Amino acid sequence: MTAAAHRVVIVGAGFGGLAAARALKGAPVEVTVVDRMNHHLFQPLLYQVATALLPAGDVAPAIRDVLRGQRNAKVLLGEVVGFDTAGKEVEVVLSDGASRKLGYDTLIVAAGATDSYFGHDEWREVARPMKTLADAVDLRSRLLSAFENAAAAEDSAERDRWMTIAIVGAGPTGVELAGQVAAMAKRTLRKQFQGLLDPTRVRVVLLDAVDSVLPPFPPKLREHTRRKLEKLGVEVRLGKKVTGVDGDGVVYEPGAQRLPARTVIWSAGVKASPLAEELAKATGAESDRKGRLLVGPDCAVPGHPEVFAIGDMISLNEIPGVAAPAIQEGRYVAKAIAARLAGSPPPGPFRYNDRGTMATVSPGDAVADVRGLKLTGFAGKLAWAVVHLAFLVGWRNRAAVLIEWAWLVTTGRRSQRIILEPAHQQKITRTHRT
C-alpha cells in the first residue's frame, strides 16, 4: 500500500469486523483492525469451553493468523475509547497503556454487545457472565471446583449447595449451558467421582421471568426443548423474576423464594457495547433502549456516510443479534466501500438473508428452524453442527472441534477438566464475595 491508500479502520474483530476485513482483501485500501484482544472469538461455542468440552484455542484463533495472507491488512492491539469524527480519528489505548490517535478515511465500528444485569451490576461478581474467553475459562474452573468442593464437603446441606447450579436466562445461551452442565454431571462425573458424588443429586436450575424457553423460536421447538431439558434433569422454572443474587444463591419472585446455590451463571440479557454510546455522542446518532445505534439502511451512521456500524451494537429492521447478520453486514459494507472508491453505484439497502435459527439442547439433540423447516433431535443436531463448523474460522479449528465432539459422543469424556485457580484462592474469593 502507498501512503495515499484509502485508510479503513475496523473497530472489533468479531464476526462483522473480521468479515469486513477479509472482504476488503482485493480493494485498494489499507485496513487496520483494532481489537483489545488478540483473538477472534467464536461465541456460539463458548459454552462448550465453559463445560470442559473444548479447549479455548479451538474457538479463538489469533487475528494475525486469520489475516496472515492479506497484504493490505494489519492488526493493532488496543482498546478504542473515543471518536473524533470531525478530525476522522479514533483514540486507542494500547496494551502498554500508551494512547494513540489513529486516522481513517472510512470507519467501521463492530464493537458487539455485553451482558446486561438490568441495573444490578453488583451481581456480576457472583453471577458470572459468559461473553469473553476469560469468562468461559473462569466458569469452567468454577464448575469443576464446585464438584470438587461437593465431594470434599462433610455437611450434606453444604454439599447440596455446591451441587446446585443456577442459570439465569432461558435464551439460547442459558439453554445450551443447562443441557451441557446436566449432561456433564450425569455422564462425566458419574465416572470421575465414583463413591464420592451421587450424580442424581446434582441440580441444574434454569430460571427466567419469561413464560417459555427459547422465546424467539416456534412453539413446537420451545416445547421440545423444555421436555428434553427436563428429561436431562434440568429444573426449568419460568415466570420467575430474579431479584437478588449473592454468594449463597438467588432470590426470585413471586414470593421472594430463595434457591441455595454456590454457582450462579448469568445469561439473561445483553446490551450494546459502551462504544455504541461513544459513537452516538460523537455523531449525534440516536440509540434504542438497549443502547443499540440506529443506523441507515446502508449501515452508515446518519449524517456520516464515512462511518459504518454493524453487528450486535446496531438496530436495523429488527435483525437479531447473532453471527449470521453481522457477517453479512460486514461483507455488505466492504462491498459498499469498494463501490464508492471505484465510482460505481452503491449496493441497494442491506437485506438480511435469514438462514434460520438453532440451538443445541444436549450433546445429541438440537432444535433448528431453517426457512420454516423445524428440526429436532439428531436432524436438528446435524444441521446445527454443519452450520457451526461452517462459521468457525480455520480448517484446523474445524477439524479439532469435530474430533472433540466425536470423542464426547463416543466416550462421554471431556478432555478439558483443568482448574486454573488454586483451591485456596477460590476459598478466599468466595469468602470475600459472600
Predicted pLDDT at 216: 87
| Mean local confidence (pLDDT), 20-26 | 97
Predicted pLDDT at 10: 98
Predicted pLDDT at 428: 41
Assess whether pLDDT exceeds 80 at residue 1.
no
Predicted pLDDT at 434: 34
| Mean local confidence (pLDDT), 14-20 | 97
Predicted pLDDT at 308: 98
Predicted pLDDT at 433: 40
From the candidates 89, 91, 125, 176, which is the catalytic residue? 176
Assess whether pLDDT exceeds 90 at residue 188.
no
Predicted pLDDT at 422: 61
Q: Which residue did the predictor score with more confidence, 47 or 4? A: 47
Predicted pLDDT at 420: 80
Q: Which residue did the predictor score with more confidence, 173 or 417? A: 173
Assess whether pLDDT exceeds 50 at residue 429.
no
Predicted pLDDT at 3: 52
| Tens digit of each residue's pLDDT (9 = 90 or more) over 338-357 | 999 999 999 999 999 988 89
Known catalytic residue at 230: no
| Mean local confidence (pLDDT), 212-222 | 94
Q: How does residue 411 score in pLDDT terms, banded at 50, 70 and 90?
A: confident
Whole-prediction pTM value? 0.91
| Tens digit of each residue's pLDDT (9 = 90 or more) over 115-166 | 999 999 999 999 989 899 999 999 999 999 998 999 899 899 999 999 999 9
3-state SS, the chain, equals: CCCCCEEEEEECCCHHHHHHHHHCCCCCEEEEEEECCCECCCHHHHHHHHCCCCCHHHHCCEHHHHCCCCCCEEEEEEEEEEEECCCCEEEEEECCCCEEEEECCEEEECCCEEECCCCCHHHHHCEECCCCHHHHHHHHHHHHHHHHHHHHCCCHHHHHHHCEEEEECCCHHHHHHHHHHHHHHHHHHHHHCCCCCCHHHCEEEEEECCCCCCCCCCHHHHHHHHHHHHHHCEEEEECCEEEEEECCEEEEECCCEEEECCEEEECCCEEECHHHHHHHHHHCCCECCCCCEECCCCCEECCEEEEEECHHHEECCCCCCCHHHHHHHHHHHHHHHHHHHHCCCCCCCCCCCCCCEEEEEECCEEEEEECCEEECHHHHHHHHHHHHHHHCCCHHHHHHHHHHHHHHHHHCCCCCCCCCCCHHHHHHHHHHHC
